[in-house]
A and B are shown apart, each in its own frame.
Chain A
Amino acid sequence: MAPQPDQSPAPAVNGTTAEEHPPIGPPSGLSVIRTQYSSEQSLRQMLKNIGYDEAREDTLRLKGVQLIDTVRQSLQLPVRTFDTAAIYYHKFRMRFPSHEYAYEDVALASLFVACKAEDTIKKSKEILCAAHNLRQPHDHKTPDDKVFEPQTRVIIGLERYILETIGFDFRVQYPQKLLIKMVRKMFPREDASQQEEGKQFLRVAYDMAIDIYKTFAPIKQTSFTLVLAILELTSLLLDTDAEKMRAFKEAASWHSEKAAVFETLLDLLDLYTQFPKSTKIGLRFELKKLMDVKIEINNLMTREKYQRYQGWCDRCAPDPHDTRSLTPSSITSPATNPSLSGTTSVKRKATSTEGTMRFVFDADEARKEKALVDRYFIDEYEEHEIEVEEPIKEPEPRHNSRNTHPPHRGMQGDHGWPGYHRSSRHGLHNDRHRSRRGHGY
């Protein structure tokens, strides 16, 4: 929570005079922690905040990832660059409303940044040129063509936003490598008779590993979870001998948990049943088979009482009739999550009121720092309580917080009782910093 700098002339309005307290400040600015993994619920909330329209956005998501794949193949880039680019693409799209940019630009910019991150560097013009030549093969151009000049500037501009979105945390899973190792375990090299079957299995699993990046699963899960789900689904589709899969049934012994694997399985199956033609596996298998497997898994989950999305809270689920929350700038109180990044429009300019924005990796350190700083900035009331972080708030009657302008934290003593102030502290009136406020980082 960043205190406003204009609070730094001491809290004169609270009945104590300025001379008694030395001026407090400067504010410590904003610490932003991006997280590598988000839960489905926080994902949904983030998307809702930027006015995500499912029907349109799904196709854009699929097209973008597909574009990244075809371009990276034409540039002979390894698959780990693809993995990284896809993740950056998803994360960007979760943060910025899609009407503010062209999906191709973001996809190519993600690839550009991923190339740097994975040490497989390519010039932005080369990427643009490859994309162009794929789109218009009859009009073959070379990267030094002047037509790429303006686009290259767009890409470089987007690069900044991508870096900000990922919070300079470049870590991305690389499930393909792990997948190969696990399949090797299933079909050991020593046994020559199985190699053919192993190859077939691997082909399907590998394609599935590319498809999985068209879902949100890689943002939600670790490498092992992803790979276990892929292995499970491949074996179901190919009716592989259950004996081979036995070793992988126990998710807990593979650094994962069953709930997460199930969730991923269904994510994949949703993709395959809703958009079969946009996937590699969907083209390979009959829709009926895929539906059958999906039903089977659904039944299994109901039987064993797993939730569709682990960690889901029905009470927090956004109200479908809550139309107020549809505009990007609105305050939405449920699921303001520590892992959320602010919903800022692409064109926003850094405002001086925020102070410095720092990207932090260690959540505990940031928390300690905040506790320390807050001692100086926090308002003092008789009934002052230790400020407990409440990352997700109940939906509040909005009109209350609307009235507490300007957004000083309880500085104006005449704006009602502490109750309102306390909520207004969480009230997140300054929309753009909404999510950074409600939590303690």
Chain B
Amino acid sequence: MADPFEVRMRFTHHLRQLNASVTSAQKAAQYALKYRDMAEDLHSCILEQLERNNMNMRANIMYFIEHFLDMAHRDGHHEYVGMMQRDIIRVVDAVAPDDGSGAANIKVVRKVLHALQSKSFLDAQVVSQIEEVLKERDASAQDINLLSSPPEASDENGASSRSHGHSSHHHHHRRGAHHRGPPKLDKRQIEQRIEEDRERHKRQRENIWAIPPGEDAELQKLWEETSDLGEDDHRMGEEEYAEWKSQMKAAKCVHQREAERNGTYS
């Protein structure tokens, strides 16, 4: 039933549905793994969507890639990882292009690249090279924001002719002339992006308290990390005890109060 056209279409559909939630990423990833004999095809789908959609979408796809490679690696399907390694430059170019329109995505790219490096999907050298390029793009993007006038289609690829990022403040905006940059985001898309970022931040904070799975995991964690008994513990104990005593006292029944008043205790 694996009609390649249909599979491509379906997968593209999944990619376009990507948002900040983990579920959407999981669905897309599962689909791709299911049809992994068409890995090349589906990989090219990813690249295609990266180059076609707006900046928000591209950021979502970037996050998806991280999640996806995780799952692929876990299941032992290394084709996807390999293809991504090969095409990572293209991906970065799409998500954070040098014309400054990808300014919002530079952090995304950095984060995902570092994550991929730490899982050894990407070479450290490759990552540091890309990092350099990113830095320059970041600076030029700030330029554009500062000057805030429509960028002109000036000379060729500004990234290669630039010296180093820091001196770029008084350089005027560069623009890659080899293609018109992706369209500017409209208000609704900006709001959507804000929402999605918020969602992602919330999930990130989870990692602070989330307990790793495993029988004794939390116990171990607490045993290692908890400090010794201290002043504040005793203070807490005193306060709780005082509160408890007063509540128990207030709860005394009429017989007990009477007995107290009479100096006897029933």
Contact = CB atoms under 8 A, between A and B. Distances in A.
Interface of A: 35-39, 41-42, 73, 76-79, 119-121, 142-144, 173, 176-178, 180-182, 184-185, 199, 202-203, 206, 221-225, 254-256, 310-311, 313-316, 334-335, 337-339, 363, 390-394
Given A78-B209, A255-B234, A315 B229 contact: no
Nearest to A118: B209
A28 B223 CA distance: 51
A315 B266 contact: yes
A166 to B, nearest CB: 15
B236 interface: yes
Which residue of B244, B247, B253, B256 has the most chain A CB atoms within 10 A of its CB atom? B253
Contacts of B223: 180, 199, 202
B23 A142 contact: yes
Contact of A185 (B222, B229, B248): B229
A208 to B, nearest CB: 12
Interface size class of B (residues with CB under 8 A): 35 or more
Query: 3 shortest A-B CB distances, which residue pairs?
Result: A255-B237, A392-B253, A222-B240
A184 B250 contact: no
B243 A37 contact: yes
A119 B206 CA distance: 9
A77 B211 contact: yes
A181 B227 contact: yes
A73 B212 CA distance: 10
A76 B254 contact: no
Contacts of A182: 229
A254 B202 CA distance: 39
Which residue of A37, A184, A335 has the most chain B CB atoms within 10 A of its CB atom? A37
A142 B251 contact: no
Nearest to A205: B219
Interface in B230-249: 233-234, 236-238, 240-241, 243-244, 246-248
B6 interface: no
B248 A37 contact: yes
B228 interface: yes
Contacts, number: 125
Given A77-B209, A78-B218, 6 more contacts: A76-B212, A222-B243, A224-B240, A255-B240, A255-B241, A338-B250
A393 B228 contact: no
Interface of B: 21, 23, 26-27, 202, 206, 209-213, 216, 218-219, 222-223, 226-229, 233-234, 236-238, 240-241, 243-244, 246-248, 250-256, 266
Contacts of A35: 247, 250-251
B213 A316 contact: no
B250 A393 contact: no
A311 B236 CA distance: 24
Contacts of A73: 211
Nearest to A252: B241
A222 B237 contact: yes
B241 A256 contact: yes
A180 B241 contact: no
Contacts of A76: 210-213
Nearest to B245: A257
Contacts of B253: 41, 313, 315-316, 334-335, 391-392
A177 B229 contact: no
Nearest to B230: A181
Contacts of B244: 36-37, 221-222, 225
Contacts of A311: 248, 251-252, 256
Contact of B251 (A78, A144, A221, A338): A338
A281 to B, nearest CB: 15
B251 A38 contact: yes
B229 A224 contact: no
Contacts of A394: 254
B57 to A, nearest CB: 19
Contact of A142 (B26, B202, B209): B26
B247 A144 contact: no
B233 A393 contact: no
